[in-house]
């Protein structure tokens, strides 16, 4: 038994959920689970097919990027995950997927406007798209720079109210209070991205949802007086 068995199991389950929900194909995408008290996170190994994943194959990394448990090379996106864990208080899971409709928005370099209540149920406002990473940041450390770009985009925003971002030219990153939450936000983001594309196909001049309707839908599910779902 290893010191971080539970964390590795959580990360493995989240990564298998990426495949189950068809958020990535081949070896694309990754998810991680964070233990704040220990200052480490478990993440998918680089380049492994989802069918090959097991809790034992997960790699445990500290917030300096050093492998502390596991025999495989961690995901190439590891440094992006660690920047988010360092910067966004309260998150315990991160997911990077390659779902087609969300990536389409990334390639168009456009934020996803809140056009309807399905979107508002997930996040309070537009899903932001970052600027394109600079040549200097890319040359210095691409994955670290990607994380810093996301953090810069979220200045003045609450990451747990808007638990998702589109990285320009690249794709979506999502996060949550658990690794599985992060993956489920990735699934919600993909569906919202698809709906927005369909909406603009029907009506290219579609307007964002009025603020009062957006806030109502977000607050009834996530607010202090939320009444969606069952009492805990």
Catalytically annotated residues: 121, 228
Distance between CA atoms of residues 225 and 145, nearest Å: 38
Residue partners of 6: CB distance under 8 A and separation at least 6: none
Closest listed residue to residue 74, CA positions, set 91, 96, 89: 96
- CA angle at 36 for the pair 157 and 99, rounded to the nearest 5°: 55
Asked if residue 165 lies in contact with residue 173, where contact means CB atoms within 8 angstroms, the answer is yes
């Amino acid at each position: 038994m290893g010191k971080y068995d539970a964390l590795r199991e959580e990360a493995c389950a989240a990564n298998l959920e990426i495949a189950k929900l068809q958020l990535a194909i081949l070896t694309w995408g990754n998810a991680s689970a964070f233990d704040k008290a220990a200052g480490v996170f478990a993440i998918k190994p680089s380049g492994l097919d989802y069918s090959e994943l097991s809790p034992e194959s997960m790699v445990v990394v500290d917030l300096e990027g050093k492998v502390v448990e596991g025999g495989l090379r961690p995901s190439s996106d590891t440094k992006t995950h660690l920047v988010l864990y360092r910067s966004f208080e309260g998150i315990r899971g991160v997911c990077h997927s390659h779902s087609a409709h969300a990536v389409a928005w990334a390639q168009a370099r456009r934020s996803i406007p809140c056009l309807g209540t399905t979107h508002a149920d997930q996040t309070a406002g537009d899903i932001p798209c970052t600027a394109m990473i600079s040549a200097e940041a890319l040359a210095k450390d691409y994955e670290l720079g990607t994380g810093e770009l996301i953090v810069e985009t979220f200045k003045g925003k609450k990451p747990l109210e808007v638990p998702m971002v589109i990285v320009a030219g690249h794709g979506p990153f999502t996060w949550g209070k658990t690794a599985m939450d992060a993956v489920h936000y990735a699934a919600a983001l993909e569906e919202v991205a698809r709906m927005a594309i369909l909406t603009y196909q029907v009506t290219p001049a579609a307007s964002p949802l009025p603020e009062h309707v957006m806030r109502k839908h977000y607050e009834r599910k996530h607010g202090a007086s939320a009444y969606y779902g069952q009492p805990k």
